[in-house]
């Protein structure tokens, strides 16, 4: 898997700056002040930094001094950052360095910036490439970053949990970017089982067990494929022994043809990302394990492939969910909700969670409503929902609350079964959420996140190149930290 670049943390050593052979990053303030490292570079380059500053810089500017005379470095990156810069602005500085650096080593002269760990996170998140299937683009071994600081131990301690979250986001991106012939349901499950090495408890429920449990809705989605359907359960029990866990549920359709309700050929190749919800759950669980979160969290993902065949579910079929509700399948391309409803019911019956969040690339309708800037947020609990929205906002991951209501649920009424799996074109993302709402037990705080617009995009985002974004890993980790982790008494 792709991992974040390797960081080392050192005490500031002015003499090392002149001999560093990669790129050197220094910081100046909007009022033109130079810290000791910047003054050293200015002397080495015969006043080039001072001249650049005098020409005018403003907060957020990133300039490049190429081929700096008097230094071994191939370039100097000059970032304008106010001493009181926010977390977001420090992360943006890291993003700028990641975009500029290419594949060479970088020396970041952070000085006495007490938010330097956020520069590290921004650099780590943006410094991602998925090159597993490009034979001529192996990443160079020189992709290391040295952070010089007046308090290297403190910066390293602050950066450690942030880099754990970055690795979780990378894991999600890798999964979402993989082609379906590589990331089969079996391969997906195997990658999750491998996280036992991080301290996660992982169990794979195979088709015979799913049938025994009565997961007829989930099994109906994958019955047209040669790939076996599976449910993978991951447990991180880092909190109090008897504390009810937070449950994270992910839709893991490794490829979605639409089934018998076949999708158009144009763009179908993008349906390798239809396991995005499961990818986010997996990445979040990895992050929690790596940073040793003091919370109880269970992650459950339903892994299936939606294919047309002589054995595939037909439009008009009626299937029975684990809950016992019968479902009239109007459209086999509305399959994700059939996967989620059974996994959600199993999670509630098995773990009695303190809260439940499901994530899915569920509807194209949410993209019509919110574009690629925000995930759709649906919830039956204002308290949990507001905590999530606050966490998402703090991490710069767009999320917007959408409504629920009986009128939307009524669109799902069936004349031959308990419920239909689609309610027509109007409010398609809301009726999909109402379908899932039906499977939430009374008293369980629940959030549904429709991430169809944010999981995989055609243009680069703040923290990721085009393709898989890893959206949700940062927000979920922050939510767990803020709302579910046991706090140490002062």
Helix, strand, or coil (residue 23):
strand
Paired strand residues for 320: 326
263 catalytic? Reply is yes
Report CA-CA distances (Å) from 147 to 25, 144, 485.
10, 10, 30
134 catalytic? Reply is no
Q: Which residues contact 328 (CB under 8 A, 6 or more apart)?
A: 316, 317, 318, 414, 416, 417, 419, 420, 421
Backbone angles phi, psi at 430, to 5 degrees: -75, -40
Q: Give yes or no for a contact between 169 and 474, defined as CB atoms under 8 angstroms apart.
A: yes
Structure-block tokens of residue 228: 């076996």
Q: Give yes or no for a contact between 404 and 437, defined as CB atoms under 8 angstroms apart.
A: yes
Backbone angles phi, psi at 315, to 5 degrees: -60, 135
Spell 322-353 as b/e; 16+ CB within 10 A means b.
Answer: bbebebbbbebbbbbbbbbbbbbbbbbeebeb
Residues present in the chain in total: 490
Distance CA 70, CA 44 (A): 5
Q: Out of 43, 263, 401, 438, pick the active-site residue.
A: 263
Structure-block tokens of residue 283: 């990445």
Q: Which residues contact 290 (CB under 8 A, 6 or more apart)?
A: 164, 167, 168, 198
Q: Out of 126, 337, 420, 478, pick the active-site residue.
A: 337
Q: Any idea which residues carry the catalytic annotation?
A: 263, 337
């Amino acid at each position: 898997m792709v991992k974040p670049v390797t960081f080392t943390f050192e005490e500031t050593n002015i003499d090392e700056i002149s001999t560093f052979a990669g790129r050197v990053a220094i910081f100046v303030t909007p009022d033109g002040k130079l810290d000791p490292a910047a003054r050293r570079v200015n002397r080495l380059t015969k006043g080039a930094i001072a001249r650049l500053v005098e020409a005018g810089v403003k907060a957020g500017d990133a300039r490049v001094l190429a081929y700096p005379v008097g230094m071994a470095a191939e370039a100097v990156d000059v970032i304008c950052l106010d001493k009181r810069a926010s977390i977001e602005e420090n992360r943006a500085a890291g993003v700028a360095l990641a975009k500029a650096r290419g594949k060479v080593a970088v020396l970041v002269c952070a000085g006495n910036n007490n938010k330097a760990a956020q520069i590290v996170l921004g650099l780590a998140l943006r410094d991602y490439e998925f090159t597993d299937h490009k034979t001529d683009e192996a990443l160079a071994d020189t992709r290391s970053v040295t952070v010089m600081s007046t308090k290297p131990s403190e910066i390293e301690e602050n950066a450690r949990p942030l880099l754990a979250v970055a690795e979780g986001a990378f894991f999600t991106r890798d999964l979402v970017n993989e082609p379906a012939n590589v990331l089969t349901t079996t391969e997906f499950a195997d990658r999750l089982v491998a996280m036992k090495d991080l301290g996660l408890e992982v169990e794979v429920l195979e088709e015979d067990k799913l049938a025994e449990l009565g997961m007829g809705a989930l099994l109906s989605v994958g019955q047209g494929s040669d790939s076996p359907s599976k449910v993978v359960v991951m447990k991180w029990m880092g909190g109090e022994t008897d504390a009810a866990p937070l449950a994270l549920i992910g839709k893991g359709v490794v490829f979605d043809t639409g089934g018998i309700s076949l999708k158009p050929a144009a763009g179908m190749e993008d349906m390798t990302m239809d396991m995005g919800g499961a990818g986010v759950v997996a990445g979040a669980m990895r992050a929690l394990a790596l940073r040793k979160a003091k919370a109880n969290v269970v992650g459950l993902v339903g892994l299936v492939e939606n294919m047309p065949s002589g054995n595939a579910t037909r439009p008009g079929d009626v299937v029975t969910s684990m809950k016992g509700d019968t479902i009239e399948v109007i459209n086999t391309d509305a399959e994700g909700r059939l996967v989620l409803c059974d996994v959600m019911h199993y999670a509630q019956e098995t773990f009695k969670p303190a809260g439940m969040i499901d994530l899915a690339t569920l509807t194209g309708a949410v993209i019509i409503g919110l574009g690629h800037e925000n995930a759709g947020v649906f919830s039956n609990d204002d308290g949990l929902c507001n905590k999530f929205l606050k966490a998402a906002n703090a991490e710069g991951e767009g999320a917007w609350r959408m409504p629920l209501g009986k009128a939307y649920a009524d669109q799902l009424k069936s004349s031959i079964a308990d419920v239909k799996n689609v309610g027509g074109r109007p409010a398609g993302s809301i009726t999909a959420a109402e379908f899932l709402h039906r499977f939430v037990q009374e008293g369980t705080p629940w959030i549904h996140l429709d991430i169809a617009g944010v999981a995989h995009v055609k243009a680069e985002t703040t923290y990721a190149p085009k393709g898989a974004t890893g959206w949700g890993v940062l927000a979920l980790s922050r939510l767990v930290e803020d709302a579910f982790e046991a706090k140490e008494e002062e």
